[in-house]
Structure 1
C-alpha cells in the first residue's frame, strides 16, 4: 500500500516538474521574441479568463517596439551591418564644432525613440550623437533578442562606424540592457571608448530575470533559474555566463555608473558589486533617490544634467 502511494506521489511530482519546465520554456521564448503583428499587451484587469490562462501557460506575445521620430534636431537615418549580417537603423546627429561623439543604447523592449530626451540634452552639451535600434527593436532587423548576448555585436558595429569617421573622442551611454550590452562589447571585442556612462545595468542575466519576476509579484526562484536556463537553451547559449558585473573588469576608461534607489529590477547589492568590479580607477557612482528603473533624466532632470555636465567636462 505504501509503495503504491509513494509511486503516485512520485508520478505527481514528475508531472508537475515537466509541466513547470514546459511553461518556463514558453515564457522564456516569448521574453526573447518580439512580434510585428502583436497588439498592445493587456493589463491583467483587462484580460478575460481565457486570456489569463493563455498568459499563464504560454506567456505573452510582446509587440516589436516602434520608432516615432520626435528628435526635432537635424539628423541622418543610416543603416549599419553587424558582423553576423544584421541590419541596424541608426540616427546620426551632427553638431557644429562637436566635442566628440556619444553613441547611445536603449533598454530591452524600447527603441531609439525612448532615449530622445537624453539625446537632445547631450546634443545641447556639444556632442555628435548616434542613436541605434538594437536588433529586434524599432526599425532594425530581426525578431529575437538575447538581452545583450548577441547585441554586443550591435555596439561594435556602431563603434566601428564612428571610428571610421575619424572620431577620437567616443563616449558610450547606455541604459539598462543598453548599459549591460556596452560592457559586454568592451569585454568581448576590446573596444576602447574614451568614457562610459552606464545607467542601471544588471549584474547578470539571471539576476535580471529575478528582478523581472519580483516586479510581476512572482517568486524569484525557481522561476528565474528555469527561465534563464530555457532562454539560453533556446538561444543556443549558456545564459548564466552573461554577467556584466564580470565584463566590467575589462573597462579601463573613466566610468559614470548611475542607479535609482527605487529600482525594483536591479538591486543595490548587484549595482555595488558591478561598481567594485569596474577595472578603471577613474570611476564614480551616483544614486538617484527619487528614481526607479526608469529614465533618470526625466525623473530627476536637474541632478542628471549637473552630474553629466561635470563628468563630461572633467
Structure 2
C-alpha cells in the first residue's frame, strides 16, 4: 500500500509540475505578446506623429467632420497664393542656410528691410513649411521688419528625419537670433510662431536670451507636446495616455533623441522674461482653445491675450484680420521702437 501511495504522489507531483510549466509558458507568451503589441503601437504613434516622412492623413481627416477643418497645408494659417508669390517673386529674399548644433543643414528665407533694426522670425506649424507663412512675413515686412522664415528641421527643404515638436527647434531659433545680432548689433527681435511654431517660440523664450529679443507672439500653441498628443490619441483612437504615450515617449527618445514631455511650452513660458502676446481662436479643436488660458496663466512676463471669436485652428488672422494685426501692431509698438 505504501509503494502504491508513493507512486500516486509522484504522478500527482509530475502532473502539477507540468501544469505549472504549461501555465508559466502561457503567461510568458501573453507577456511577450503584450510587449510586442505595445512596442508596435508605440512605434506606430512615433511614425504617425514624429516621422516627417509618414503620411499624416489620419490626423487631418479626423477634422473633416468637425467645424474646425485642418489640412496638412493649413497648420500655419491661411494659405495665400498672392503672399507666396510675393515671397518667391517680389520680396527679393535670399536663401540663408544654417548648420544646426547636431549637423543638419537648415534652410531659411531672409528678407531684408534697408535701414531697419526691426527683425522678426516667423515660425511655421506642424507638417508645414516656411513659405506657407508668407502671409505673416509680408505683413511684418510691410510693418518695416527684416524677416527670417525658417524651414524647421524635417520640414520644407531643411534636413532632418524627425519632428522635434518645438524642442530641438528652440536651439535652431536661438542660432538664428545669434545670427541676426552678428549682422545687426542693434537689432530688435520679435519671435512669431503659429501652432507648433508658437510652441517653438515659447520653448525658446524659456532659455537665456539676449536683450535684443524684445517680444513674442504665440498663435494657437499647445501647452506641451505630451498634452497635445494625449489629446489627439483620445480624439483619434479613444485611447487614454497610459500606456501608449509612455511607450511612444521611450521610442521617441531612442529614435529622435528627446523625450516627448521635454517639449513643454507651459514650463518654458513660466521661466520667460519676454513680453508675450497669446492668440487663440475660441473654436480651435485641433489645439484645444483651453490651452491658451493655461499658457497665459503660467506666464509671469508682461503679457496680453487675444481670443478671436469664431476662429478655428490657425484661423484667427483669417476670421478677423483687422483685429489680429491691430492687436499685434499695438502690442509690439510697446517694446520695439
Give TM class, smaller chain: 0.7 to 0.9
What's 1:177 paired with?
196
Shifted more, 142-151 versus 105-114: the winner is 142-151
What's 2:156 paired with?
138
What's 1:80 paired with?
98
Q: 1:272 aligns with which of 271, 278, 293?
A: 293
Shifted more, 88-97 versus 118-127: the winner is 88-97
The correspondence of residues 222-301 of structure 1 with structure 2, limited to 5 A, is 222=242, 223-280=244-301, 282-301=302-321
Q: 2:166 aligns with which of 148, 161, 172?
A: 148
What's 2:4 paired with?
none
The correspondence of residues 4-153 of structure 1 with structure 2, limited to 5 A, is 12=30, 15-35=33-53, 70=85, 71=87, 72-98=90-116, 100-153=118-171
1: CA distance, partners of 2:295 / 2:240: 21
Q: CA deviation at 1:41?
A: 5.9
SS of corresponding position for 1:151: helix
2: CA distance, partners of 1:134 / 1:89: 8
What is the RMSD computed on CA atoms of the aligned residues? 3.1
What's 1:163 paired with?
181
Q: Is the 8 A contact 1:185 1:191 kept in 2?
A: no
Q: CA deviation at 1:9?
A: 7.7
Shifted more, 23-32 versus 241-250: the winner is 23-32
1: CA distance, partners of 2:328 / 2:146: 15
Distance 1:237-1:73 versus aligned 2 partners, 3 A rule = closer
Runs of 4+ in 1 over 4 A off after TM superposition: 1-14, 40-44
1: CA distance, partners of 2:56 / 2:288: 26
2: CA distance, partners of 1:181 / 1:191: 17
Q: Which runs of 5+ in 1 are unaligned?
A: 47-61
Distance 1:213-1:310 versus aligned 2 partners, 3 A rule = same
Distance 1:146-1:212 versus aligned 2 partners, 3 A rule = same
Q: CA deviation at 1:131?
A: 0.5
Q: CA deviation at 1:103?
A: 0.9
2: CA distance, partners of 1:98 / 1:92: 14
2: CA distance, partners of 1:138 / 1:228: 25
1: CA distance, partners of 2:284 / 2:210: 29
Q: Is the 8 A contact 1:74 1:93 kept in 2?
A: yes
Q: Is the 8 A contact 2:122 2:136 kept in 1?
A: no
Q: CA deviation at 1:82?
A: 2.2
Query: What are the Cα deviations for residues 43-94 of structure 1, in whole angstroms up to 9, with x where unaligned?
Result: 79x9xxxxxxxxxxxxxxx99x9xx953242221111222322221111112
User: Larger C-alpha radius of gyration, 1 or 2?
Assistant: 2
What's 1:213 paired with?
233
Higher relative contact order (CA 8 A, sep 6+): 2
What is the total number of aligned residue pairs between the two structures?
291
Q: Is the 8 A contact 1:101 1:129 kept in 2?
A: yes
